[in-house]
Amino acid sequence: MATSHIRRGAAAVLTMAAVATTVLVGQAVASEDRPATTAASAQAKAPAAAGTVARSERIPRIASAWQSAWTSDDPNALADLFTKTGTLVDLSVPYTSHGREEIAKFKEITERLIPDADLEITDAFRSGDRVAIRTNYSGTLPGAAKSFKVQMATVLELRHGKIAVNTDYYDRATMLRQSGLPADWRPPTQP
């Protein structure tokens, strides 16, 4: 019985150490994506409260590049962020694109379907080769009475600085409800 108690205690300590190590390593890696902030530059930033860092300084570079590519008119800008065999998974559609050519095609289809699509990053962080991005995803679907604005989470898995896997999570039902479209709505067929 005493041995069992010791094992559980040791397991708890090891678990806490692993979590702490993950957090510290993640913070160290994430800091590589943040510009250096001095006390003078932090105080010079207005209207941020003393001791806070402006949100844009916390966003990993790959997240900013991803957002810029999604909001650009060039489908290849997005595809170029991926490895040659990269995968983009949109779980809400659902749709999966494999390789840069398919990713560029998915971006083109999205542009035609939602020409006013926008992604506003509200938060992001990097831990090792993973990046989590929280955005407000907005736009107007074909035939919709109103536009939508839903929260979206994206997880990027990186390989050698490129996106190997991009997985998007958002609530399609809320998007359709906000748009005034029926729950069984499907996009029009592409010409």
End-to-end Cα distance, the chain: 71
Q: What's the chain's Rg over C-alpha atoms?
A: 21
What is the pLDDT confidence band of residue 191, given thresholds at 50, 70 and 90?
very low
Q: pTM for this one?
A: 0.70
The token pair at 139 is 């736009």
Q: What is the pLDDT of residues 76-117, one digit of tens each?
A: 999 999 999 999 999 998 999 999 999 999 999 999 999 999
Q: What is the pLDDT of residue 22?
A: 37
| DSSP code for 50 | T
**Strands 162-170 vs 82-90: parallel, antiparallel or unpaired:** parallel
